[in-house]
Amino acid sequence: MVLGAAFFDRDARIVAKELLGKYLVRKVKGKTLAHKIIETEAYLGPEDQASHARHGQTPRNTPMFGAPGRWYVYFTYGMHYMLNIVTGPAGKPSAVLVRAVEEITGPARLTKALKVGKELNTKKAARASGLWIEDRGGIVSPRSIRRTPRIGVEYAGEWSLKKFRYLLPSAQTHNSPSRGRAVRKNGTRTRLVAGTRRSAGRTAGRRSA
């Protein structure tokens, strides 16, 4: 069953948890791929200092203020697209970042593998757009879901400590922030985490939803 607007017209934290075990389905060039969602992050409204909505409505984050069940896709770090689904009622910005699916860990690797780009921004999560989410009847025990603070939002003060990141056991073994490796480029220390690149001491405000 394809998930419709009613599923997404709820608190982002509830949607983020209930998306675990659902399937992200992509149809492109006549080929259909489906992957189980195993990691998400919830981003709330203007009060959430890790959310793009913290600065009010802008041309970039306008999709967050729109109808639930639409994609919010944005470019970050000058090299990656991030895939979010808008949640809650129109006019009250919130969204869920899809961080990982089975076989593809990290939000940047996910969008690259599924050929997700800016053309999907504002589109409905529906077959017509070529990218949607299905409930295939799988049961996820609430006790199996792990909650942690979100990745790369240290700049957000007390909001950086909110446990709005949700993972299934399979995500915990493949997509832990502790697995990042440090490299140097042009004298700058950079950490590679979950398929994205982050310079030490640099905030990730361009990545959060």
Q: Where do the structural domains in the chain lie, given as residue ranges? A: 5-199
| Residue-level pLDDT at 172 | 58
Architecture of domain 5-199: Roll (3.10)
What's the burial of 55, exposed, middle or buried (CB within 10 Å: 0-12/13-18/19+)?
exposed
Burial (CB count <10 Å: 0-12, 13-18, 19+), residue 180? middle
Query: What is the model's pLDDT at position 173?
Result: 53
pTM exceeds 0.85 for this model: no
pLDDT of residue 209: 74
The tens digit of pLDDT for each residue in 14-51 reads 999 999 999 999 999 999 999 999 999 999 999 999 99
- More confident position, 126 or 183: 126
Number of other residues whose CB lies within 10 A of the CB of residue 118 = 10
Burial class (CB in 10 A: 0-12, 13-18, 19+), 153: buried
Is the pLDDT assigned to residue 194 strictly greater than 50?
no
pLDDT above 90 covers a percentage of the chain that reads 78
pLDDT score recorded for residue 96: 98
How far apart, in whole angstroms, are the C-alpha atoms of residue 173 and residue 203?
Answer: 25
Flag whether pLDDT at 175 surpasses 90: no
Parallel, antiparallel or unpaired: strands 71-76 and 196-199:
unpaired
